[in-house]
Amino acid sequence: MGEQGRRLVDFCIPCNPYFPTPEMFAELADNLEHVLRFYPSDSATIAGELARLLGLNPATLAMANGSTELITWMDHLWFRESVAIPVPTFGRWTDQPMETGKRVDMFPLRELDRFALDLDEYVAFIRARRSRVAVLVNPNNPDGGYLPRRDVLRFMDELVDLDLVVVDESFIDFVDAERDPSVATDAAIRSNVVVLKSLGKNFGLHGVRFGYLVANPGLAARMRRTLPKWNLNSLAETVVFMLRDHGLEYRESLRLLARDRYAMGTQLARLPDFTVFPSQGNFLLVKLAPGVDGTELRDHLINRHQVFIRECGNKLGMSNQFLRFVVRPQADVARLVEGVQAFGRQQWPDELARRRHADRPA
């Protein structure tokens, strides 16, 4: 794409650039004919293998063809009247219940607070609106805001009277702020809590649709009964069974990504027209300076530099001045920075000349 004929560098789709490893892809390629020619195991067999890998009780787990499938079925099964959700966030949490006629109570995250979620204010909002379902995305998408595990547990326990509390942990594996950030095992012993997970985001395999939820055996069994028996494909099964031999590589990929997140955030913060928000996801949210058009920057980067970014103008609670950048290795970040700087020179040559003049010694 674009004028230079270089490969596209994807800062848009939030995946893990270090996993699977090239050796794992080679292993998949060698087995591709067998994988595609035969039926997969049923979902219970695949979910049982995943439960063993994660140290979970299989009775507390339901596996689906992507986390979006689970969001859809949660809406049909458990979202009866209304659902509360902080915004901005992943769009299916607002779009899915609105499509089926539910009331969506949107709790606005404030830029002034760097999009940090105040749980006490959110609980008060849920009570005031009398919402029957509450959703918490941790870390949040698109800003990467993270709530410590102890606070999420308190949130769950304060809302035991709701029909359902959903904690979306699709990006939890990228957190390095504390050792064990997930509340999945705690959800399994609570009456109204579901934790949602997305393997595609963690493993960098969005084309293999697989996600799962963790809940008490009653809730998990109801979801399993609702989902089709053969809802997972053979490629998803193969990847799940490969993971038992590649845990070390996966943990190393998370270490490398956390390193790159810090380095990339530092580099982007040095750009004069960028404000970078703190993140525990595998992406960084940036706000452009007044007068900088995010749509124009996005188009410039993909057309001139073959860099693909996420402009957030279509997210509720945001404008096209907000951009989300997936964390990538330093060589790719250098091309991104080069493209942003070229856009600035193109847009504001007079302003750049003024800055250079101001920097000269008297």
Whose tokens are 């096209």? That residue is 320
pTM of model > 0.95: no
Give helix 247-269 / helix 330-347 axis angle, nearest 10°.
20
Per residue in 186-242, pLDDT (tens digit) is: 999 999 999 999 987 787 777 888 899 999 999 999 999 999 888 888 988 998 888
| Whole-angstrom Cα Rg for the chain | 22
Q: Which domains, from first to last, does the chain contain?
A: 9-17+248-359 (3.90.1150.10), 22-245 (3.40.640.10)
Is-contact 212 197, C-beta < 8 A? yes
Looking up tokens 């959800």 gives: 187
pLDDT in tens, 74-113: 999 999 999 999 999 999 999 999 999 999 999 999 999 9
Locate 109 and state its tokens. 């995250």
CB 92 within 8 A of CB 137: no
Confidence band, pLDDT 50/70/90 cuts, at residue 281: very high
Average pLDDT over residues 274-298: 96
- For residue 2, pLDDT over 50 is answered with no
Please state whether beta strands 322-326 and 310-311 pair in parallel, antiparallel, or not at all (unpaired): antiparallel
* 17-32 residues labelled b (16+ CB within 10 A) or e (exposed): bbbbeeebeebbeeee
